């Protein structure tokens, strides 16, 4: 189930509590001869995504319409049924915008049913990718609204994306998410509801999609995987509206990375294939190299060494074609050495320790942003421990702990804990001091 952020938003607009809505629905039901006994707990279940039975969705609309002094439809409360008259707007771009902005608002207000929602699997996880790949396309994304969107507005969104991406790299996703979500609500949402031509609208949806993708990265880094997945799906829909296939492929790369973390390895392979196939010539060498490298990791975890090694070769070949200054802003994360650390992880899974260490060392020798360097050092330390070289592993682990100090990132904490556990099992001289440094970095409150 997906949280019903539209119902949450309209309840807030109406100024009605969960218990108040339940009482009004019961009262409206009695006027129709229904004996209803709903309480606030039922409303909480509806907000978590459970669909009320029978006439109750219509009763909710009736109650809220009376409260707001305007018509309220099933679509407005997130309970529209595909194919039923009056419920088709949920499939439109404007319907998507309302659902997306409702999620941003619920996130900013830290609604538990949104923050704690699990990631979906199976068909619900695959459908947004399939819809991005396949027709229909958005033939006209223009919109009429109060505020006319200008080129300066779009440039503000682009600058904000770059700003929050840098903040994430330095401070971590936990500290950054509240700020970027606040910006989405205050700045991006009014622009999406504004007035713009088709050409301006495509630029607007592209710029917003880049911002939403970073919000998803921050949610992923905060362990809010259901929320992160919803942001990635939103970014994919915005990419489709923009007509930029390259942006869509970048968003799918984020979904591939999340699939790997969730150990959905076959899904990771399939998503990467979809991005490479659909984006085609619009995919850049940097993004292609990352997608192939992540595919290699997925195949390695599946025990398919042949496919993993083939993807490693493709990743390395694509990396050789990267031309700095010819890549979009979003693929700036594919810095020198990134493919090396990805390949090192794949080779480690295959048990190729010597080759894995060679790639991990090459990754560390290349400059990287703060959090990227922590990941590279963690990988190198892990491989050195697996090789039985505790002395080198300790030196690397100390560098990692010092680099990670002050960052608020759940993913980095995972890497630190993993290295800490390896050091503890090793029990060699010097590991105690390195473990204490890691413990100090882990004591940063999240």
User: Model confidence at 309, in pLDDT bands (50, 70, 90)?
Assistant: very high
pLDDT tens sequence across 371-427: 899 999 999 999 998 998 888 888 898 899 888 888 888 998 898 888 888 887 776
Assess whether pLDDT exceeds 70 at residue 6.
Answer: yes
pLDDT digits (tens, 9 = 90+) for 323-337: 988 999 999 999 999
Distance CA 154, CA 242 (A): 13
Left if phi > 0, otherwise alpha if psi is -120 to 50, otherwise beta: which for 284?
beta
Q: pLDDT, tens digit, for every residue of 73-124?
A: 888 888 886 544 333 334 689 889 988 999 999 999 998 888 888 999 999 9
Nearest in space to 110 (alpha carbons), one of 190, 157, 178, 52: 178
- pTM (2 decimals)? 0.85
Residues 438 and 420: beta-carbon distance below 8 Å: yes
Task: Identify the pLDDT of residue 91.
Answer: 67
The DSSP secondary-structure symbol of 147 reads S
Question: pLDDT higher for 430 or 48?
Answer: 48
In angstroms, the CA 60 to CA 85 distance is: 18
Distance CA 333, CA 185 (A): 26
Contact 168, 218 (CB under 8 A): yes
Q: Enumerate long-range contacts of 128-132, CB under 8 Å, 24 or more apart.
A: 128/233, 128/236, 128/237, 129/236, 129/252, 129/255, 129/271, 129/274, 131/237, 131/240, 132/236, 132/237, 132/239, 132/240, 132/248, 132/252, 132/278
Whole-number CA gyration radius for the chain: 24
245-261 and 265-279 are packed helices; what angle lies between their axes, rounded to 10 degrees? 170
pLDDT digits (tens, 9 = 90+) for 130-151: 999 999 999 999 999 889 999 9
Contact assessment for residue 434 and residue 394, using Cβ atoms and an 8 Å cutoff: yes
């Amino acid at each position: 189930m997906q949280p019903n952020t539209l119902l949450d938003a309209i309840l807030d607009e109406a100024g009605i509590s969960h218990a108040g809505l339940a009482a009004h629905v019961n009262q409206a039901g009695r006027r129709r001869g229904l004996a209803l006994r709903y309480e606030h707990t039922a409303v909480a279940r509806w907000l978590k995504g459970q669909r009320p039975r029978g006439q109750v969705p219509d009763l909710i609309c009736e109650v809220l319409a009376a409260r707001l002094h305007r018509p309220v439809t099933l679509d407005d409360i997130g309970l529209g049924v595909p194919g039923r008259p009056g419920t088709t707007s949920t499939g439109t771009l404007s319907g998507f915008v309302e659902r997306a902005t409702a999620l941003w608002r619920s996130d900013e207000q830290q609604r538990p049913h949104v923050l704690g929602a699990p990631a979906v699997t199976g068909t619900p996880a695959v459908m947004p990718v399939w819809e991005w790949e396949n027709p229909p396309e958005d033939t006209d994304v223009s919109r009429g609204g109060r505020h006319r969107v200008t080129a300066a507005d779009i440039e503000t969104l682009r600058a904000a994306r770059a700003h929050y991406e840098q903040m994430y790299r330095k401070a971590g996703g936990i500290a950054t998410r509240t700020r970027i979500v606040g910006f989405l609500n205050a700045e991006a949402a009014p622009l999406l509801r504004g007035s713009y031509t088709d050409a301006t609208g495509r630029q607007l949806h592209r710029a917003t999609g880049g911002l939403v993708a970073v919000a998803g990265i921050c949610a992923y880094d905060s362990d809010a995987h259901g929320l992160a997945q919803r942001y990635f799906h939103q970014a994919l829909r915005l990419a489709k509206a923009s007509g930029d296939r390259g942006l869509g492929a970048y968003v799918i790369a984020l979904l591939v990375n999340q699939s790997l973390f969730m150990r959905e390895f076959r899904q990771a392979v399939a998503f990467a294939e979809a991005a490479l196939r659909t984006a085609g010539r619009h995919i850049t060498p940097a993004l292609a190299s990352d997608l192939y490298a992540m595919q290699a990791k997925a195949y390695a975890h599946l025990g398919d060494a042949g496919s993993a090694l083939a993807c490693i070769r493709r990743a390395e070949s694509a990396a050789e074609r990267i031309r700095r200054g010819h890549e979009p802003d979003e693929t700036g994360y594919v810095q020198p050495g990134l493919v090396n650390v990805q390949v090192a992880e794949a080779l480690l899974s295959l048990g190729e320790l010597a080759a894995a260490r060679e790639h991990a060392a090459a990754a560390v020798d290349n400059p990287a942003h703060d959090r990227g360097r922590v990941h590279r050092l963690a990988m190198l330390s892990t491989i050195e421990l697996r090789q039985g070289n505790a002395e080198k592993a300790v030196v690397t682990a100390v560098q990692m702990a010092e680099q990670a100090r002050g960052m608020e990132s759940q993913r980095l904490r995972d890497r630190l804990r993993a290295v800490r556990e390896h050091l503890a099992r090793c029990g060699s001289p010097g590991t105690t001091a390195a473990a204490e440094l890691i413990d100090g970095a882990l004591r940063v409150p999240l």
